[in-house]
Structure 1
Amino acid sequence: MEILNVFNKDYEKIGTASREEVHTKGYWHETFQCWIVGMEENPYIVLQKRSHTKKEFPDLLDISAAGHLTAGETMEDGVRELEEELGVTVHYSQLYSCGVYKDGITIGSMKDNELANIFLYKLAGNIQSFQLQQEEVAAIVKADLHDFIALWRGDKQRIVVQGYTERLDRTRAAVTWQVSKSHFVPHGSHYYLYVAEQAKEYLHQ
């Protein structure tokens, strides 16, 4: 059973609970969220498509790599998510912190109130080098950062993302999709714009 630390809104620890209880009762808990970004002709942001077997938000586009921190883990331990989901080895010191964002999603009986510790990682290579964790990640794609911002501002209804899916035998198929907000995990426009503006500033430092 996965046990998580539980906090109040001021990020003060008040106890522990199982992941199931946390999501049923809406307790605030810690997550590690890392958005991979980069520069080619234009700045881009990397999205993972969640596996269709995921209990929560299957087949939707989401954070490059993310996960819960269990009781006893430190924020530095969160880098394991990049290794596990994408096969990317990163040291915590290589990440750029965007601070803590209070991210709440309520759907049906699930109340997911996250103290999201958001980080950026600038990719030196390309996404073709990733090794996807197939039970977690169905595809990896890139979006032009300016288009991504326009989508969440409401200036565009759809944007193009490009990348690849990976089959069970590890063969890959290139994909180009037109996606709308409905194709994303419903973190909310404010959350996505917060991340995108942080990425834009970071890439132009």
Structure 2
Amino acid sequence: MEQIDIFDANLKPMGKKERRRAHFDADWHVTFHLWVVGQVYSGSVLYQWRSTEMENFPDMLDVSAAGHILSGETMQDGIREAEEELGITFDSRRIHNLGYRVEVADQENGQKNREYQGVHMCKVEIGLNDFQPQIEEVSGLYWINIQEGIELFTDKRSEVVANGVYYDPKREKWIESERVFSKDNFLPRIQNYYLTAHIMAERLLDDKLPLSIS
């Protein structure tokens, strides 16, 4: 079983625990988030469509790549796992560290998220055909235009049209797709995380550094 390091609310190490048990015990732990940004469609953010097999929040849009930092691992291991999850290699020199954001949320299944999320962002110049996602984790990848996303998350529009690919298990292949999403399609978060990610993506494409999140 996967072990993760657990902390107090000040990120002081408190030992390690089995990952699922840590969630039910409301233990603080660290996760890795990577947002992928591209110039496609006049500047877009890449979202992952979570697999139907995921225990938590299946069939929902989320960060491009994300995962738990296992016991003894570092954020560099998070980058490696993001590469495995998406099936591409990132240039570490182009990955920006936006800092930690704190997420506190209780789920109906009894799990309690107490996470320090190490948020990163990277600009890429490749197309979706260059990605080879892990079908166990990812059901699809979709580009959402930065400005349209900002309008969606500020309630200036009710939905966006996204271009991407989804995995068809019957045909065992990735299929190009255009889909319409509303805010209900995104993994729920209390804070304006997605809005902030789009604002930071806009800054990144405009070369307006530094980038930050909280």
Q: Bin the TM-score by the shorter chain.
A: over 0.9
Q: Residues 41 and 145 of structure 2 are in contact (CA less than 8 Å); yes or no, is this contact kept in structure 1? A: no
Q: Which moved more, 1:190-199 or 1:28-37?
A: 190-199
Please point out which of 178, 181, 184 is paired with 1:179.
181
The answer for the alignment partner of 2:105 in structure 1 is 105
Residue 121 of structure 1 aligns to which amino acid in structure 2?
C
Q: Residues 76 and 92 of structure 1 are in contact (CA less than 8 Å); yes or no, is this contact kept in structure 2? A: no
The answer for the alignment partner of 1:192 in structure 2 is 194
Q: Residue 166 of structure 1: SS of its match in structure 2?
A: strand
CA distance in structure 2 between the aligned counterparts of 1:18 and 1:136, rounded to whole angstroms: 20
The answer for the alignment partner of 1:55 in structure 2 is 55
Residue 102 of structure 1 aligns to which amino acid in structure 2?
V
Q: Residue 114 of structure 1: SS of its match in structure 2?
A: strand
Matched, 1:26 2:44: no
Report matched runs for 1:122-137 at 5 Å. 122-137=123-138
CA distance in structure 2 between the aligned counterparts of 1:189 and 1:155, rounded to whole angstroms: 18
Q: 1:185 to 1:105 in 2, by over 3 A?
A: same
Using the TM superposition, give the Cα deviation of residue 37 of structure 1 relative to its aligned residue in structure 2, in angstroms. 0.3
Report matched runs for 1:1-150 at 5 Å. 1-40=1-40, 42-108=42-108, 109-150=110-151
Using the TM superposition, give the Cα deviation of residue 199 of structure 1 relative to its aligned residue in structure 2, in angstroms. 1.4
- Which ranges of 4 or more aligned residues in structure 1 deviate by more than 3 Å? none
Q: Cα deviations across residues 145-169 of structure 1 (Å, max 9, x unaligned)?
A: 1111111112111111111112345
Segments of structure 2 that go 5 or more residues without pairing to the other structure are 208-214
Segments of structure 1 that go 5 or more residues without pairing to the other structure are none
Number of residue pairs matched by the alignment: 205
CA distance in structure 2 between the aligned counterparts of 1:18 and 1:154, rounded to whole angstroms: 39
CA distance in structure 2 between the aligned counterparts of 1:152 and 1:111, rounded to whole angstroms: 25
Q: 1:189 to 1:43 in 2, by over 3 A?
A: farther
CA distance in structure 2 between the aligned counterparts of 1:90 and 1:78, rounded to whole angstroms: 12
Q: Residues 79 and 91 of structure 1 are in contact (CA less than 8 Å); yes or no, is this contact kept in structure 2? A: no
Using the TM superposition, give the Cα deviation of residue 72 of structure 1 relative to its aligned residue in structure 2, in angstroms. 0.6
Residue 18 of structure 2 aligns to which amino acid in structure 1?
S
Residue 79 of structure 2 aligns to which amino acid in structure 1?
V
State the identity as a percent.
Answer: 31
CA distance in structure 2 between the aligned counterparts of 1:105 and 1:125, rounded to whole angstroms: 35
Q: 1:138 to 1:38 in 2, by over 3 A?
A: same
Residue 195 of structure 2 aligns to which amino acid in structure 1?
L
Using the TM superposition, give the Cα deviation of residue 189 of structure 1 relative to its aligned residue in structure 2, in angstroms. 4.7
Residue 3 of structure 1 aligns to which amino acid in structure 2?
Q
CA distance in structure 1 between the aligned counterparts of 2:90 and 2:27, rounded to whole angstroms: 30
CA distance in structure 2 between the aligned counterparts of 1:48 and 1:82, rounded to whole angstroms: 11
* TM-score, normalisation: structure 1: 0.94
CA distance in structure 1 between the aligned counterparts of 2:19 and 2:89, rounded to whole angstroms: 26
Residue 181 of structure 2 aligns to which amino acid in structure 1?
V
* TM-score, normalisation: structure 2: 0.90
Q: Residues 36 and 123 of structure 1 are in contact (CA less than 8 Å); yes or no, is this contact kept in structure 2? A: yes
Q: Residue 14 of structure 1: SS of its match in structure 2?
A: strand
